């Protein structure tokens, strides 16, 4: 006699409340049976909040091998800066929980108050990624010089080892004096 067990979940909505039943359907040659393990009662609002929370945590999770600076740059570009180190803290909590002094180290390097200060005072794209400087002769016989510019779009992260808070090769420390 062949048996097949399928794990499934069934939902039912009654008066803005969702009833979620999780169990196993057992099917045999003779007939089938339903074995419910538990029934959970949640509102549609709570379910929607869970879905949004799961989506947000997926968006705010560093990709495999993504360095701190690439992660923070991606998050600040996507969500903006809120005046805190929320993205650096998120990276530390999910990738490098042993880096307890990360925020103090960033502060000492010049990013004392928020994530976007990492790009104003601490790190800039590596010089190999910048556009080349150009010199041209204008119509009035004067030389014009176009300074190199940082890239409009960053290259994909060149990855770092798990647990590291060091930047990948796409980033260099700015040449400013140390802040204290």
pLDDT score of 163 more than 70 = yes
**What does the pLDDT read at residue 4?**
45
Nearest to 69, CA basis, from 165, 3, 161, 135: 165
**What does the pLDDT read at residue 7?**
47
Mean pLDDT to the nearest integer, 58-84: 91
What 8-state DSSP symbol labels residue 170? T
Between 46 and 179, the more confident residue is: 46
Task: Work out the mean pLDDT of the chain and round it to a whole number.
Answer: 78
Residue 89 and residue 103 in contact, taking contact as beta carbons nearer than 8 Å: yes
If phi > 0 it is left, if psi is from -120 to 50 it is alpha, else beta; for residue 135 that is: beta
The per-residue pLDDT for range 111-133, each reduced to its tens digit, is 999 999 999 999 999 988 888 76
**What does the pLDDT read at residue 5?**
46
If phi > 0 it is left, if psi is from -120 to 50 it is alpha, else beta; for residue 5 that is: beta
Residue 132 and residue 148 in contact, taking contact as beta carbons nearer than 8 Å: yes
Nearest to 68, CA basis, from 127, 34, 115: 115
Residue 133 and residue 145 in contact, taking contact as beta carbons nearer than 8 Å: yes
**What does the pLDDT read at residue 128?**
86
């Amino acid at each position: 006699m062949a048996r097949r067990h399928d794990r499934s979940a069934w939902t039912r909505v009654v008066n803005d409340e969702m009833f979620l039943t999780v169990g196993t359907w057992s099917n045999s040659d003779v007939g089938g049976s339903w074995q419910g393990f538990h029934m959970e009662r949640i509102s549609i609002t709570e379910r929607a909040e869970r879905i949004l929370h799961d989506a947000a945590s997926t968006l705010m999770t560093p990709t495999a091998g993504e360095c701190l600076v690439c992660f923070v740059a991606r998050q600040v570009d996507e969500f903006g800066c809120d005046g805190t180190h929320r993205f650096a803290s998120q990276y530390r909590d999910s990738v490098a929980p042993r880096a307890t002094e990360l925020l103090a180290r960033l502060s000492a390097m010049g990013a004392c108050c928020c994530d976007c200060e990492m790009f104003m005072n601490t790190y800039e794209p590596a010089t190999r990624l910048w556009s080349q400087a150009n010199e041209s002769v204008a119509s009035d016989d004067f030389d014009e010089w176009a300074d190199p510019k940082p890239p409009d779009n960053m290259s994909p992260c060149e990855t770092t080892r798990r647990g590291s808070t060091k930047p990948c090769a796409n980033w260099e420390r700015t040449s400013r004096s140390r802040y204290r």
